[in-house]
């Protein structure tokens, strides 16, 4: 009986202070570990290919691609985080308080930065479609770099303030040894929900509704062959509309993947993972971060070509940085 009791503990030698393991069916645990490990590997690999492609080839150093590069970096880091998340499936953290604090900070910062990058993508497409005459002057590469830096710095600053008690290993509130949980004040938790989820999703929906209306207006103008000033005003390059459609698909996948997770989080007011349905939501949430590069492969010819060059190691050839890509 004593052996069975010890087996249920995170640290069997600490009978009086150790946390208990969450009991999951063996089949559920194996499938969960396999799914999260696969998502982690795929996310890291694919986003690394995006980072290499955009960083290496000069032609890809556009304003939009700089945002995609920032998004790929955040998604790449999320992929690494998913690997460590498998260690918490049974509710036990075996790496100590310091690593727990670092993991919590890393998790919240890169997740909020990834959502911030999605907002930047929406703003970029909004300006390109709704204000094409001034897009190149308003959204220069220098301004994009500043926006990306503000996104990352703002995420780091806000999450550091919100998690200030959780980032102190000696001051963390733990009920037992082996626990790695986030303790957030209700006020901060509500504000964080507004800042990192409700607010960004609202902005994304409003911007893409505006883009949709402009595209519909242009389509009607083309069909009726209107040559008035109004028709000229809404004239947008086909390439910009195609980019808006593709990136709109990225955002649609983003909403489908994260909304169920946040909805359950709001209703339950609990950050723990203790049921099969919770694990499924966690897998769906993490799946979003590896789907973006797959969408690039499906919709972006330049990424398909750069992918072939990187995998075949042609990227190492002299002068490969000046390779020409087609955007059609």
* 223-241: pLDDT as tens digits: 565 444 444 444 445 555 5
30-322 belongs to which homologous superfamily?
Answer: Rhodopsin 7-helix transmembrane proteins (1.20.1070.10)
Left if phi > 0, otherwise alpha if psi is -120 to 50, otherwise beta: which for 300? beta
**Domain locations along the chain:** 30-322
* 247-276: pLDDT as tens digits: 667 677 777 877 777 777 666 554 444 455
Average pLDDT over residues 12-17: 67
Average pLDDT over residues 288-303: 74
Find all residues with CB under 8 Å of 44, minimum gap 6, and list them: 76, 79, 80
Average pLDDT over residues 184-196: 76
- Where is pLDDT greater, at 327 or 99? 99
Question: pTM higher than 0.85, yes or no?
Answer: no
Average pLDDT over residues 80-98: 77
Residue 60 near residue 268 (C-beta atoms within 8 A): no
Taking the C-alpha atoms of residue 326 and residue 302, their distance in angstroms, rounded to an integer, is: 6
* 100-133: pLDDT as tens digits: 878 888 888 888 898 899 889 888 888 887 777 7
Quick count: other Cβ atoms within 10 Å of Cβ 80? 13
Taking the C-alpha atoms of residue 79 and residue 30, their distance in angstroms, rounded to an integer, is: 19
* 29-69: pLDDT as tens digits: 788 788 888 888 988 988 898 898 888 888 888 888 898 89
Mean pLDDT of the residues in the chain: 76
Q: List b or e across 280-289, with b for residues whose CB sees 16 or more CB atoms inside 10 angstroms.
A: bbbbbbbbbb
pLDDT at 198 > cutoff 80: yes
Distances (CA, A) of 263 to 85, 134, 193, 279: 20, 38, 11, 14
Give alpha helix (H) positions in the chain: 2-7, 26-56, 63-85, 96-130, 135-138, 141-162, 186-193, 199-224, 229-233, 238-268, 276-299, 301-311
Q: Tell me, what's the pLDDT at 147?
A: 92
Quick count: other Cβ atoms within 10 Å of Cβ 300? 22
Distances (CA, A) of 141 to 11, 125, 133, 200, 294: 52, 14, 17, 23, 25
pLDDT interval class at 149 (50, 70, 90) = very high
- Where is pLDDT greater, at 231 or 315? 315
- Where is pLDDT greater, at 163 or 233? 163
Q: Tell me, what's the pLDDT at 253?
A: 78
Would you call 154 exposed, middle or buried from its count of C-beta atoms within 10 A (0-12, 13-18, 19+)? middle
């Amino acid at each position: 009986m004593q052996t069975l009791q010890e087996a249920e503990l995170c640290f069997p030698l600490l009978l009086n202070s150790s946390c208990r393991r969450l009991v999951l069916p063996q089949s559920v645990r194996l499938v969960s570990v396999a799914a999260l490990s696969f998502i982690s590997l795929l996310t890291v690999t694919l986003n690394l290919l995006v980072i290499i492609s955009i960083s290496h080839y000069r032609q890809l150093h556009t304003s939009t691609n700089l945002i995609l590069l920032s998004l790929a970096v955040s998604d790449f880091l999320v992929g690494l985080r998913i690997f460590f998340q498998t260690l918490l499936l049974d509710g036990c953290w075996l790496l100590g308080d310091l690593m727990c604090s670092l993991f919590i900070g890393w998790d919240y910062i890169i997740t909020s930065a990834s959502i911030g990058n999605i907002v930047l993508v929406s703003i970029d497409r909004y300006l390109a479609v709704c204000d094409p005459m001034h897009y190149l002057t308003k959204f220069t590469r220098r301004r994009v770099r500043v926006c990306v830096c503000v996104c990352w710095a703002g995420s780091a600053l806000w999450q550091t303030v919100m998690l200030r008690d959780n980032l102190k290993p000696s001051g963390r509130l733990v009920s037992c040894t082996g626990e790695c949980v986030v303790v957030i004040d209700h006020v901060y938790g509500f504000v964080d929900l507004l800042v990192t989820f409700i607010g960004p999703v609202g902005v994304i929906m409003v911007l893409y509704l505006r883009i949709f209306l402009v595209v519909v207006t242009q389509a009607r103008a083309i069909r009726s062959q209107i040559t008035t000033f109004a028709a000229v005003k809404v004239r947008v390059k086909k390439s910009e509309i195609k980019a808006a459609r593709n990136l709109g698909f990225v955002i649609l996948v983003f909403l489908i993947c994260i909304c169920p997770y946040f909805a359950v989080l709001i209703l339950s007011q609990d950050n723990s993972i203790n049921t099969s349905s919770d694990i499924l939501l966690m897998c769906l949430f993490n799946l979003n971060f590896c789907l973006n590069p797959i969408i690039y492969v499906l919709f972006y010819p330049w990424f398909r070509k750069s992918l072939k060059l990187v995998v075949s190691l042609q990227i190492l050839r002299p002068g490969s940085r000046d390779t020409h890509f087609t955007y059609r």
